[in-house]
Amino acid sequence: MAAASSTIIVPQILEGEHDYKDWSVHVKTYLLSKDLWDVVETTGKPKFKAWRKNNAEALHAIQLSCGPGTFTYIRDKTTAKAAWDTLKAQFNPEKSNLLSMAEYNREEISDGILREYRDFFTAVRIGEWSEMDDFISLPNALTIRDSLGTALHNAVIFGHEQMVEELVQLMTEEQLEIKDVHGWTALAYAARDNLKMVKCMVTKSKKLLGIAEEGRQMIPILIAAMYDRWDIVRYLYSLTGEDLKADECPDGSQLLVFCLFAKQFDIGWHLLRDSSDMACTRRRRIYSSLSAISSMPSAFPSGMSLKFWQRWIYNCIHVEHDPINEFRIDVQDQENEQGNQRNRTGINHIRELKMTHVELELMLYSMCDVIELLNHQEMKDGLVYEAVYSAVQNGTVEIVKILCKARPELLFRGLEDGKNIFHYAVECRQENVYNLIYGVDKRNLITTLRDNSDNSILHYAGMLSPLASKKLDGIAGAALQMQRERQWYKEVESIVVPLSGASNLNKDGLTPPQLFTEEHKELLEGGERWMRSAAKSYTVVNALIITIMFAAAFTVPGGNNQVTGFPIFLKGNVFMVFIGSDAISLFSSATSALIFLGILTSRYTEDDFLKSLPTKMILGLSSLLISIATMMVAFSSALFIMFQDKSWFTYPFIFLANIPVTLFIWMQFPLLVKIFKSTYCERVGKSNT
């Protein structure tokens, strides 16, 4: 009977891989003709009764089209989609993958679920509550789990709010606490993206708020914070805030970390107000809140990247903030808050930026009230030392100041390798932190301290560590990088006491000068190549200008008087401009060429990069720019002299002639400014008390 029926659907039943392609075409055509293909490849959410009827017809057709051997693969399949995908995976030569998670609402229910519950879970996934009346009364209908969990888990995952409300009303508090195979409650899933579902379940059982998922042991409020749903966080915090502030509760510390990274300071202040000790609570290997702050350099003024006019506005804005008196958590006006976030531009943006700085600084002072009472081991366990050194590495001088004021021994106490904060500041080339040494009373004592390898602070100035190299990436050209390194070394050398200076050896038997030479050998060679290449290029340009301007001085425009030998336009003002600009251009280019010749013949020692070579480059480049500018003045004057009666004719040519000169100046002038600022303005080591 099956064989006879199968000939109506397909010419040949499916026997194996060799005839799968032809079989799939025939069966698909048949299902399309019967309007059943949507059961296999549905694009929407079907009505449950209609879907169940079509599924049965399509599954029956597929079963009839299989031979006895191939039917065994789909004998236990209850949906056409599952049967089709099973045969496709087994016999299609391309071995296509099975269902993606996006199509999970049409996937076969786990074989471990009793057959009578399969249609029930299918109805839950497609959101057909009206079709579930016959199933709700089944034993364990609300507690039995499939691969996604209970019916409530399925409804939450597929976003059926109305169904979630109905199921919650039918379930007991204990049933709401059931976890899926991953150890998540339905509330944990809802906390990721649906406030309405969260309120529905929490109203039924507040005990759910303290149940953590079994992976990272995160309670629902932490899950909501991790998924950046601060509307849900505020609602849950209004119910659990006091519990989170308890000393024995590590979840409050983790929530504080999330608040800091997301800049949700209202909740952060409330957590710290009565429980500042959580500033140093480490939850497993997660950052403490203090470490979180130290890893946010942009949240402090020293880490800002503002233009000069923005910085001026920032300094003019006055912010007053009393976090304890002004604290409130608004769980109602979240949409307006998000709208305000989008409108923070211009001055309002800068004001919010300054408010962030002020709030974080006040929070840091609040944390220090507890840090002052900690012993060495507690500070180590609370990641206080790591926070300080993270702030040093990021150049966040505000954090270093506040923490060292609370615990002055941080200035002297090092990490396990014996390195103190000034050693590390020099190693990282963080000038703002290093400058704090000028405000320390025991500066001479600090400069004599050594690490476990007998490296002094001057040794660190001679090192070119990866952290120092990272800072050099922002400096253009190996020569200027070498100059900056030499400036650092000279600055540190100027503050160390003589007995801890250049003659001291570390455990490798190297003095600071020897270490500097060894570490900067490649950078020194790179700086020499950069200087020579630039000098050669500029010398070629100078040679061309000298040749042109020298010849122009003796072939003046308009020619000479045949009787007297003087230039015909000698008494003209424009001619005097021509002669003057020609002479200035010639002398400037000659001067520039000689200066660059001096660069080419330099010894290229380490100290040459400090001032000698940069100064020569400044003078040579300045002379070259003057020479080019006056050359174009001479050219323009010559055109005016030759076309006195038609001066309008010269304007386009003068404009075109100035384009390449303008481009050259536009490209080279910034380099001149950088070299000048690096040599005479941006020196390392400014007093900062």
What is the rounded CA–CA span in Å between residue 434 and residue 440? 11
Between residues 584 and 60, which one has the greater pLDDT? 584
Per-residue model confidence as pLDDT tens digits over 201-258: 999 999 999 888 888 889 999 999 999 999 999 999 888 867 776 655 678 888 888 8
Residue 582's CB: how many other CB atoms inside 10 A?
A: 24
- Residue for token pair 């999970």: 104
pLDDT band at 378 (very low <50, low <70, confident <90, very high): confident
Identify the CA nearest to 288 among candidates 386, 171, 150. 386
pLDDT number for residue 110: 47
Q: What percent of the chain has pLDDT over 90?
A: 26
The CA distance from 609 to 566, in Å, is 50
DSSP per residue, 108-130? PPPTTS-GGGHHHHHHHHHT-GG
Tokens encoding 574? 């424009």
pLDDT band, very low/low/confident/very high, at 423 (cuts 50, 70, 90): very high
More confident residue, 23 or 540: 540
Alpha carbons 677 and 607: distance in angstroms, whole number? 18
- C-alpha separations of 363 from 75, 242, 255, 264, 357 in Å: 65, 19, 15, 12, 10
Q: Is the pLDDT of residue 374 over 90?
A: no
What does the pLDDT read at residue 6?
Answer: 45
Task: Give the C-alpha separation, 562 to 568, whole Å.
Answer: 9
Q: Find all residues with CB under 8 Å of 523, minimum gap 6, and list them.
A: 464, 478, 481, 482, 485
> Given this model, what pLDDT does residue 55 score?
75
H/E stretch holding 185 reads none
Please name the residue ranges forming H helices in 245-383. Answer: 251-262, 265-273, 289-294, 308-316, 323-326, 334-342, 346-371, 376-381
pLDDT score for 245: 62
pLDDT tens digit sequence for 535-548: 999 999 999 999 98
Q: What is the mean pLDDT of residues 104-118?
A: 49
Could you give the angle at which helices 478-495 and 612-642 cross, rounded to 10 degrees? 140
Tell me how far apart the alpha carbons of residues 330 and 337 are, in angstroms, rounded to a whole number.
10
Q: Which DSSP helix (H) or strand (E) runs through 143? A: none
The mean pLDDT value for 91-111 works out to 45
Q: Are 201 and 182 in contact (CB under 8 A)?
A: no
Comparing CA positions, the residue from 582, 592, 581 lying closest to residue 621 is: 592
Q: Are 9 and 66 in contact (CB under 8 A)?
A: no
Predicted confidence band at 16 (pLDDT cuts at 50, 70, 90)? confident
If you write DSSP's letter for every residue of 535-586 in order, what string do you get?
HHHHHHHHHHHHHHHHHHHHS-TT-B-TTT-SBTTTT-HHHHHHHHHHHHHH
CB 120 within 8 A of CB 141: yes
Q: Is the pLDDT of residue 615 over 70?
A: yes
pLDDT of res. 520:
94
Whole-angstrom Cα distance, residue 327 to residue 421? 35
User: Which of 438-452, 496-510, 562-576, 631-645 shows the lowest per-residue confidence on average (mean pLDDT)?
Assistant: 562-576
How far apart CA 424 and CA 184 sit, in angstroms, is 44
Mean pLDDT of 521-531: 94
Give pLDDT, residue 557: 59
Count of CA atoms in the C-beta half-sphere (13 A) of 96: 10
For position 278, what pLDDT does the model report?
64
Mean pLDDT, range 384-388, rounded to an integer: 87
SS3 annotation, 453-507: CCCCHHHHHHCCCHHHHHHHCCCCCHHHHHHHHHHHHHHHHHHCCHHHCCCCCCC
Buried/exposed code over 305-323 (b: 16+ C-beta within 10 A; e: otherwise): eeeeebeebbeeeeeeeeb
**Mean pLDDT, all residues of the chain:** 79
- Provide the whole-model pTM: 0.70
Q: Using 50, 70 and 90 to split pLDDT, how confident is the model at 284? A: very low
Q: How many residues does the chain have?
A: 689
Give the pLDDT score at 565.
53
Angstrom distance (rounded) from CA 673 to CA 679: 10
Percent of the chain with pLDDT over 70: 78
* Least confident residue range of 93-97, 279-283, 284-288, 599-603: 93-97
pLDDT of residue 487: 94
Cross-strand pairs, 185 = 179
| Residue 344: predicted pLDDT | 45
The confidence band for 384, taking pLDDT boundaries of 50, 70 and 90, is confident
Tally helices (H) and strands (E) across the chain.
36, 0
Determine which of 81-95, 178-192, 367-381, 542-556 has the lowest per-residue pLDDT on average. Answer: 81-95
Q: Where are the alpha helices (DSSP H) in 395-456?
A: 397-406, 421-428, 431-434, 443-448
Report d(CA 448, CA 471) in Å as an integer: 26
> What mean pLDDT do residues 552-558 have?
67
Q: Convert the pLDDT of each residue in 129-187 to its tens digit.
A: 766 666 676 667 788 787 788 889 989 988 888 889 989 998 889 999 999 888 999 99
Q: How far apart are CA 128 and CA 86, in angstroms?
A: 26
Tokens of 261: 């990274």
Residue with more model confidence, 501 or 524: 524
Contacts 24+ apart (CB under 8 A), 409-415: 410/385, 411/440, 411/446, 412/445, 412/446, 412/449, 413/385, 414/449, 414/451, 415/385, 415/389
Q: What is the pLDDT of residue 338?
A: 44
283 closest CA partner among 317, 251, 306, 242: 251
Q: Is the pLDDT of residue 633 over 50?
A: yes
- pLDDT exceeds 80 at position 92: no
Mean pLDDT along residues 618-625: 94
Q: Is the pLDDT of residue 353 over 70?
A: yes
